[in-house]
Amino acid sequence: MEQRELLISKYEYQDVRFLNKGWSVDAKWVGVKDDQKHLIRISDIRFLSRRQWEFDQISRLYEQGWPVNRPISFFIEDTLVIAIYSYIEALDLEPNIHKLPASMQYDMGFFAGEALLAIHSLPIEADSINHYERMSQKMLTYIDRYLEKQLHFPNDDKVISFIKDHLNELSDRPLVFQHGDYHVGNMLLMEYQHAAIIDFNRCDIGDPYEEFSRAYFFSRRYSIPFVLGQLDGYFKQGIPQDFHSLMKLYMCHTMISALTWSTQFSIGQTETLRQFVSMVMDDYDQLQLDKPKWLTK
């Protein structure tokens, strides 16, 4: 049965429309039932355990009072997994944040930093995970793919060398529940300087510092005050000494992986991400700086 028909006939939605946003492998629908609007995410059954875990973690955040989609129901339907959440009526933050005063952008970032700390505080079972082995292998694999695809940007040799020379810094890192794609593109503009957090589709277990790579790569382009606020909201006692070196490593990986990943889509997408890569390289003065210019200023 076609998904829209299933939602109408079996789940009794009066109106259903496809939500064509984001890069998720899930099919996303907005359904109306009893004058309530729901966000419906439909996944293949092979993602069952992952989607159940995601649903449970979002439930914990909602119970704590953080602005996330309220989890409503979770179903298995033959070869499909259906997760139903409340739909948040709000503007996308990314295209609207520049309209806010810088002080409000900072306040929203500060709140996002506090929310990220709450996300990282959720209980996990990570005893069987070797972060060094998993992450170092991931970085080296992306380098191989990048070279195989014959991609290039100025000074990419320095980026690749930096990654290989600093893999040891991935050892003995703490592990937390990660949102997986934490930036202004996955937030909604709410009142009182709050940003609602959406799209946990790439959630994972990993290094808490790695989570800031999306802020340095994406959010920074739209609002530096927001990123500064996020750092202050998360690190209320000050940024730790080891943060900057690890962030430089994660940003080098992000540049290589983003361009490699983009080749799955259009040439236009690759060119857009090249602009982001160029921005990051300039932020680090072609890797001569230990932390980005906008942070030292």
**Cβ–Cβ contacts within 10 Å for residue 98, how many?**
11
Number of domains in the chain: 2
pLDDT of residue 109: 97
Which of 86, 111, 133 is the last residue before a domain boundary? 86
Domain limits for position 65? 3-86
**65 and 199 within one domain:** no
**148 and 71 within one domain:** no
CATH number at residue 51: 3.30.200.20
User: Cα angle at 103 between 102 and 106, to 5 degrees?
Assistant: 85
CATH number at residue 254: 3.90.1200.10
* Model confidence at 95: pLDDT above 70: yes
- Rounded (10°) CA dihedral 169, 166, 230, 201: -90
**287 and 141 within one domain:** yes
**Which residue type is seen at 111?**
F
**Cβ–Cβ contacts within 10 Å for residue 219, how many?**
25
**36 and 155 within one domain:** no
**27 and 165 within one domain:** no
In sequence order, what are the residues at sequence separation of 6 or more whose Cβ sits closer than 8 angstroms to the Cβ of residue 280?
216, 217, 251, 254, 255, 292
**282 and 154 within one domain:** yes
191 confidence band (pLDDT: 50, 70, 90): confident
**95 and 67 within one domain:** no
Phi, psi of 264 (to 5 degrees): -75, -15
**64 and 96 within one domain:** no
pLDDT of residue 266: 65
**106 and 47 within one domain:** no
CA 242 from centre of chain: 22
- What Rg value do the Cα atoms of the chain yield, rounded? 20
In sequence order, what are the residues at sequence separation of 6 or more whose Cβ sits closer than 8 angstroms to the Cβ of residue 285?
293
* Model confidence at 291: pLDDT above 90: yes
**99 and 177 within one domain:** yes
Which of 86, 114, 142 is the last residue before a domain boundary? 86
Which of 68, 86, 104 is the last residue before a domain boundary? 86
pLDDT of residue 192: 63
Q: What is the mean pLDDT of residues 63-78?
A: 96
For residue 100 the two structure tokens come to 């806010």
Lowest mean pLDDT among 104-113, 187-196, 249-258: 187-196
**69 and 98 within one domain:** no
* Model confidence at 1: pLDDT above 70: no
**252 and 119 within one domain:** yes
pLDDT of residue 265: 72
Residues 91 and 20 sit within 8 Å (Cβ to Cβ): no
Answer positive or negative: Cα dihedral of 173, 177, 183, 185. Answer: positive
Q: What is the mean pLDDT of residues 111-133?
A: 92
Phi, psi of 37 (to 5 degrees): -100, 130
Instruction: Tell me which residue has tokens 């200023």.
Output: 297
Q: What is the mean pLDDT of residues 249-273?
A: 90
Distance between CA atoms of residues 226 and 240, nearest Å: 19
